[in-house]
Structure 1
Amino acid sequence: MPSALSCLPEIFANLLVILCLTRTGYGWLPDLSSKLVNSINRIPSISFKSNASLPDHFTVLYQDDNSILLGGREKVYNLSVFDFNERKDSSIYWASSEAHSQLCNLKGKAEEDCQNYIRILFQTTPGKFLICGTNSYKPLCRILRRQNDKMIVEKEMEGTGLCPYDPEHNSTAVYSSGHLFSATVADFSGTDSLIYREPLRTELSDLRQLNAPNFISSLTYGDYIYFFFRETAVEYMNCGKVIYSRVARVCKHDKGGPHQSSGRWTTFLKARLNCSIPGEYPFYFDEIQSTSDIVEGRYGEDRAEKIIYTVHTTPTNSIGGSALCIFTMASIQDVFGGAFKHQESINSNWLPLSESVVPNPRPGECVPDSRVLADRNVNFIKTHPMMEEAVGAMHGRPVLVRVSLHYRFTAVAVDGQVRTIDDETYDVVYIGTDNGKVLKMVNIPGINSTKAHVISENEVFSINTPIRQLKTAPGYGRVIAVTKDEVKLITLNHCETIHHCNECMELRDPHCAWDLMKSACVSLDAVTSFRYLVQDVKNGNILKCKNSPTNDNEVSVVKHERKEFADDPLEDDGFVDELKSKEAAEEERKECGDLGRVASDYLHMIVGGAIVGGLVFGFVCGYLVSRRFHAHPNAPSFIEQRNHLDRLNVNQNSFLTPRPKTVNLDVLNVSAETLPPKKDNLDSLKNLNITNEGTLQKIKKTYI
């Protein structure tokens, strides 16, 4: 029987193969690890909370370079965008009346719900503001006018269709061309979803237009207002239920249709947003959660692009996946100029409609006066609100994908086109999650692709605290993070935490660069000159650190610059002495550095030699041990002897028992002459001849 020790070389070889395969397997996965992971106590932040015990359902209503207006329970907070100091004199108080609160309680709502949560605030004209609140499940709006540093109520009106009933409801609004465009619900139960601009709205209970939507955001672009939302896909109903991400648009100057359509949109269209990993069977991230504002810049091409960043997730009952996608406004417009979806009957498939049956002027486009459109045009837009093609993501795939059991993306904000010392521009993107984290990443565009580099993953709030909104604040790395009951001004500028040039280069943060003179990683918004800075966001090349004053090359560069700028008033004797001291220190560091580089260069050779030596040593030891303990080739094994003896002891009367055979001593290879005599404890000699009576039974008992 082979010895266990003789198998050691084979075991070592198998382990080596497994390690190699495992290391190769890691190479198949994208490098999405964060360079920095910061706990909540390492993030500089300023927190703001109200003093009351009831939740505030905070939301950012308005923001400029100096202030941020925060909507909460019965109040609009005016905070400084720099230090979060509350300007109490500029705050707006608006509580529900006692009658409205009592009516809300009678309808079965809790005390928490029967408050006035401010959801909308826009400046309509200089000195005038439109403000709307839930008002204890009876939405109300006011026109406020500033007079002598005080806000005077000029007008009060119903807010149905403009403001949600429930502060938790996903709603959005944008003010443009003297009108408020809103996407919300228009009833107490929250089932009548609509896109509204007085007096126009989407069709009531028409699942082809809106089917249980969750509105995310809205923006104005050109002659249109765009709404982003997720909803149950009516075109997929024959195959089950699924949620799709959508973008819809209406014309700003839509005046409604003729006759019976005077209160309905004549330009409402919607299309699917396709954020997916491509392949034979694409993997979709169907549920949009947040969008950024429009960002304009150059992304691997000469021409400028206007884009928006969106975050999407998989359904809550599936694999926990999140993705960041980019959509260009040009691609969105192109889809709305394409083919329409058409369903012949309620059980038919949705197919593209032939262009020959599309009326002229094309439905969905702005016209001078929609009230004079033919009935054919108005009826067409009611029955064909969906576009055939989906809006594809930029470069056909997400910028960033995260599969995690711990969190999903919930919010996104962008510090657009941050300029580096090489006069290049990059977008710094902040992504919030549903467990209180904020990811900081940089979008590194290429000619036909784009790459996301995650700079840091930061724990901003406690676990299980979803981040609802993210907004950028003045200054590099400053972000406003909003949750249900707390708002934080956080600083995600990690430059000062980096102490080595290599780490500063590998961070690839457009906000940071290495200062050759100070030997420090500095923030670009805190420097006045780029003269001694090095930075490489695109590649993170640490070789640029060789130009540091801590190397001979940099010393010679500094000497050369001293000669070139000899008239510089900073070039005095103190500077020369400082430079000489740096040269002396550098000589010592260089010697140590050479040893380190030599060790690094030969480290892999040492490790490889150790592995090979271990394998050879194990093989030799195993071979020698197996030779020492290996049985004689002619000797029967223990198992064979035991089986043979068992066969001799089988019940002879059983019908399964073979016919008795005599014991063949030649087969057993045991004889009286060959067995040596054995001494017992009394030093007497005994002959182990198995032919003696009783000896075979003793051997059987011994083995058995």
Structure 2
Amino acid sequence: MFGLQMIFLQCNCLIVKILIWSLCFAALCHAWMPDSSSKLINNFKSVSSISFPGNATFPDHFIVLNQDANSIIVGGRNRIYNLSIYDFHERKEGRIDWPSSDAHGQLCILKGKTEDDCQNYIRILYHTEPGKLVICGTNSYKPLCRTYAFKDGKYLVEKEVEGIGLCPYNPEHNSTSVYHNGQLFSATVADFSGGDPLIYREPQRTELSDLKQLNAPNFVSSLQYDDYIFFFYRETAVEYMNCGKVIYSRVARVCKDDKGGPHQSRDRWTSFLKARLNCSIPGEYPFYFDEIQSTSELVEGKYNSEENNRIIYGVLTTPINAIGGSAICAYRMDDILRVFEGSFKHQESINSNWLPVPENMVPTPRPGQCVRDSRILPDKNVNFIKTHSLMEEAVPAFFGKPILVRVSFQYRFTAITVHAQVKTINNQYFDVLYIGTDDGKVLKAVNVPNGDTAKAIVISENTVLPHGAAVKQLKLSDYSSYGKVVVVGRDEVRLATLNHCASITRCSECVELQDPHCAWDAKQNSCVSIDIVTSYRFLIQDVLRGDGSKCWSPQKDKKTVIKNKKDNTAIEKEIIANSIDEEGTDSTDPLVRTGLDDPECDPVSENSVGGCAVRQQLVIYTAGTLHIVVVVVSIVGLFLGFIAGYLFSQKFHSSTQYPEAPFIEQHNHLERLGANQTGYLTPRANKAVNLVVNVSGSSPPPKKDNLEVGKDLNISSDGTLQKIKKTYI
């Protein structure tokens, strides 16, 4: 019985350990809870989408090349597709076929590439003038560009030129380009092996094999702003002085009108500068998301400030060999410009630390600024910019931290696009974000500024691409149509509808969704998309807080009495604001109540809120409350288990005869050796074992030693004195 009690005690200890680990795990999960929860999770079959597969049997490496109000131009394998923005139907008259020649294809295979590699994947398209466009493709690892003119209902080739420095060799290489003022600015590689990265606009380019300018970059995006062209990319950081290497996110800029430097620098940039992008969780030891994957278009809004801010959203992740973490950070263009006006970073020797350059050592005019003619700049300015292209300060994240963080072993963020400044029924404006992942999901989120900070609320998590295909690119199909997004994978393009208003059936769920696209129509008793309504009179919405209790408040006509002091006459005005007609309320929805349907309610006076305006409150348990309940239940279960185990052990445990366990063991051992027991220690049956054993033999002469005193002697029957050996058991 004693062993049974010990088993119960051990079980109780095990229960305690399990509960402690469970509570610790729950606390860790709660730390990520605000950023890891999604209000809606839709699987592939639940998402409404239209697919354009392209070549069904070959990889296409799709990319969106251009977009207008009616069409979206997609580049693929040996072909350009013109798709309708409304139903994704291909307009065959707008298709352009451009396969590689047999000679280029055979040469590509001789260089060790596969047959799929040795195709022409279209990567660049831009319009030079009405009716003319330029297209560039990989062309079996020998990039080419063509100029097309639209005549007689089809596109005809006018000329063909090499595309080295403009278009990548490999369709999977990360490259970007922007066309501005008749010139193409590109960031790609200029050799077959991909070992010569460059930022190029004919004839200017970055330095060849200069790691201080470009060190194994992966280009993400580009845009033109003010007098500059900006490039966003990630690269191995030369300023990282610890063991190993680390990748940092960068933003670089060049002047639009940079004409190159004097003498031998005539084909080199004189305005190339770059800075680090800081996207980290603040703290004593900040946690960085260092690898930029995608950026949005430039958007503009107030974001809780009086002045407009132009910002760009970026997707940044942890390294591929680290715990899977992704973040969304926003960057103000004003902050980017300010950093480029700060100190330059300098390294005296290869083993020296990187330090800011003193202001008195910076030449005049300041390197990196746009000038009228860069070809007349002094040589010291051009040489300084070559060796000091990195800025000392990093570009801080707008709002001071990421607006969304996800830690997941299943996916990382890969792409982003933004429906900017969606207007709500309360004349508030919010950015709706669409975020792609590397396992085929698209997250819909809303950026909710709050004072000096902001936080993205994830509205839904939707599986759009089947079989876990990565989302390569995201584009809005149409700004006037809420929730329609073009999702680009390697071998498939889908037009997905991520407007969830129609799937919501209750007022509280519609309001708590915090989707700027959706509002509850109390007259029609349905969750509707704002872009299809003509009046906001009966709509309920709360994007800022998602307060579902607004559905309980009475919505009815209010009357106020205004006295005219001049003639002491009373003028009664009826003010109708956000009213709900009695016949428009849904009696089946318990979350929409007017207080007029209960006969027991008090009458409403003119100067007070009466009736059943405040009768019940919707009980919503938060995550913190749930954790407290779990802790209390666990502690109560622990005590009940301990008491039950103790009582169970006492029930089967008999009362003890002896107070101490050692005495019990000695007594049992002596009983086994007693005269009334038999066993393997008993020499013969029914023969007693004496505790004093006589050792017989001849009588040795007595010896004198220190044991004489107190020795026990025995006298035998014959009168001889024998020595007795005692055995104590």
Q: TM-score, normalised by structure 1?
A: 0.83
Alpha-carbon deviation of 1:152? 2.5
Match of 2:455 in 1: 451
| Letter in structure 2 aligned against 1:31 | P
Aligned to 1:220: 224
Match of 1:66 in 2: 70
CA–CA distance in 1 between the matches of 2:389 and 2:635? Answer: 69
Give the equivalent residue in structure 2 for 1:287.
291
Q: Which of the residues 511, 526, 536 maps onto 1:530?
A: 536
Kept in 2, the 8 Å contact 1:5–1:625? The answer is no
Report if aligned partners of 1:62, 1:70 keep a CA contact under 8 Å in 2: yes
Q: Pick the structure with greater CA Rg.
A: 2
Are 2:500 and 1:494 aligned? yes
Q: How does 1:659-678 map to 2 (within 5 A)?
A: none
Task: Pick from 205, 212, 234 the counterpart of residue 208 of structure 1.
Answer: 212
Q: CA deviation at 1:629?
A: 5.5
* Contact map agreement 2:522 2:584 (CA 8 A) in 1: no
2:245 is aligned, of 223, 232, 241, to: 241
Q: Alpha carbons of 1:159 and 1:587: their partners in 2 closer, same or farther (altered >3 Å)?
A: same
Decide which moves more: 185-194 or 18-27: 18-27
Contact 1:200/1:256, CA 8 A, preserved across alignment: yes
Q: How is 1:247-646 mapped onto 2 (pairs within 5 angstroms)?
A: 247-474=251-478, 475-547=481-553, 553-554=554-555, 556-557=556-557, 631-632=654-655, 635-636=658-659, 641-642=664-665, 645=668
Q: Aligned partners of 2:634 and 2:437: how far apart in 1?
A: 44
AA in 1 matched with 2:184: L
Q: Deviations over 1:313-358 (max 9, x none)?
A: 1111111111111111111111111111111112212111111100
Counterpart amino acid of residue 337 in structure 1: E
Matching residue of 1:83: 87
Structure 2 equivalent of residue 678 of structure 1: none
What CA distance in whole angstroms lies between the structure 1 residues aligned with 2:287 and 2:636? Answer: 47
Residues 5 and 626 in structure 1, CA contact (< 8 A), matched pair in contact too: no
Shift of 1:281: 1.7
Find the partner of 1:229 among 230, 233, 252: 233
Instruction: Give the letter aligned to residue 34 of structure 2.
Output: D
CA contact (8 A) 2:134 2:148 kept: yes
Kindly tell me: are residues 578 and 215 of structure 1, through their superposed partners in 2, closer, same or farther at Cα, counting changes over 3 Å?
closer
SS at match of 1:385: coil
- Report the secondary structure of 1:31's partner residue: helix
Instruction: Report the secondary structure of 2:249's partner residue.
Output: strand
The equivalent of 2:710 in structure 1 is none
Write the mapping of 1:150-169 to structure 2, written as runs, cut at 5 A. Answer: 150-169=154-173
Deviations 1:91-139 (Å, cap 9, x if unpaired)? 1121212222222222222111111111100112222211111111111
- 2:116 pairs, out of 96, 100, 112, with 112
Provide the secondary structure at the position in 1 that maps to 2:351: coil
**Equivalent residue, structure 2, for 1:31:** 34
Q: Which amino acid aligns with 2:528?
A: V
> Displacement of 1:51 after TM fit?
3.5
Aligned residue type for 1:536: D
Indicate if the aligned counterparts of 2:23 and 2:631 stay in contact, CA closer than 8 A.
no
SS at match of 2:34: coil
Q: Partner of 1:111: helix, strand, or coil?
A: coil
The residue type paired with residue 54 of structure 2 is S
Structure 1: which amino acid aligns with 2:80?
V
Q: Can you give the 5+ residue segments of structure 2 that lack an aligned partner in the other structure?
A: 561-572, 589-593, 602-612, 677-684, 691-729
Q: CA deviation at 1:148?
A: 3.3
Q: 1:443 aligns to what SS in structure 2?
A: strand
Structure 2 match to 1:55: 59
Give distance in 1, aligned partners of 2:151 and 2:402. 49
1:372-428: per-residue Cα shift (whole Å, max 9, x none)? 000010000111111111111112211111111110111011111000000000000
Distance 1:35 1:350 in 2: 46
Matched with 2:700 is none
Count of aligned residue pairs for this structure pair: 642
Change (3 A) 1:101 1:306: same
Please, which moves more after superposition, 274-283 or 374-383? 274-283
Show structure 1 runs of 5+ residues with no match.
548-552, 650-661, 664-670, 673-691, 698-704
- State the SS of the aligned residue for 1:315: coil
* Counterparts of 2:656 and 2:531, CA distance in 1: 83
Q: CA RMSD in A?
A: 3.8
Of residues 141-150 and 375-384 in structure 1, the stretch that sits farther from structure 2 once superposed is 141-150
Change (3 A) 1:280 1:645: same
* Residues 129-158 of structure 1, C-alpha deviations (whole Å, 9 max, x = no match): 111111111111112222233222222111
Q: 2: distance between equivalents of 1:429 and 1:281?
A: 29
CA apart distance, 1:38: 0.4
Describe the shift of the 1:436–1:622 C-alpha distance in structure 2 as closer, same or farther (beyond 3 A). closer
Structure 1 residues 620 and 101: alpha-carbon distance in aligned structure 2, compared to 1, 3 A threshold = closer
User: Where does residue 146 of structure 1 map in the other structure?
Assistant: 150
1:687 is matched with none
**Cα distance 1:621–1:69, how it changes in 2: closer, same or farther (>3 A)?**
closer
Checking the alignment, whether the CA contact within 8 Å between 2:558 and 2:574 is kept in structure 1 is no
Superposition deviation, residue 543 in structure 1: 1.4
Q: Partners in 1 of 2:275 and 2:149 — Cα distance?
A: 39
C-alpha displacement at 1:473, in angstroms? 1.3
| Separation of aligned partners in 2, 1:238 and 1:403 | 26
Taking the aligned partners of 2:239 and 2:18, their CA distance within structure 1 comes to 53
The verdict on how the C-alpha distance between 1:101 and 1:543 changes in structure 2, with shifts beyond 3 A counting, is same
Q: Determine the C-alpha separation between the residues in 2 that align with 1:389 and 1:512.
A: 42
Whole-Å Cα distance in 2 between the matches of residues 388 and 496 of structure 1?
Answer: 51
My pick for the range that moved more, 140-149 or 315-324, is 140-149
Q: Summarize the Cα distance change of 1:608–1:391 in structure 2 as closer, same or farther, 3 Å threshold.
A: closer
Work out whether 1:100 is the aligned partner of 2:104: yes
Partner secondary structure for residue 240 of structure 2: helix
2:701 corresponds to = none
Paired amino acid for 2:270: T
Contact 2:521 2:527 in 1 (8 A): yes
CA distance in 2, matches of 1:31, 1:183: 37
CA distance in 2, matches of 1:404, 1:611: 28
The CA deviation at 1:564 is 5.2
Give distance in 1, aligned partners of 2:510 and 2:619: 23
- Does the residue aligned with 2:445 lie in a helix, a strand or coil? strand
Name the SS for the 1:490 alignment partner: strand
Shift of 1:614: 8.1
How far is the alpha carbon of 1:28 from its aligned partner? 3.6
Residues 525, 585 of structure 2: 8 Å contact kept:
no
Deviates more, 1:98-107 or 1:258-267: 98-107
Provide the rounded CA distance (Å) in 2 between the counterparts of 1:608 and 1:696.
Answer: 63
Specify whether residues 625 and 213 from structure 1 end up closer, same or farther in structure 2 by C-alpha distance, changes over 3 A only: closer
Q: Deviations over 1:20-57 (max 9, x none)?
A: 77666654444220011100000000000124522111
Runs of 4+ in 1 over 3 A off after TM superposition: 1-30, 556-560, 563-566, 575-590, 593-601, 603-634, 636-640, 642-649, 692-697
Structure 1 residue 3 displacement after superposition? 5.0
Write out per-residue CA displacement over residues 583-623 of structure 1, whole angstroms, 9 at most, x where no aligned residue: 99955999xx999979999x999999999998998788777
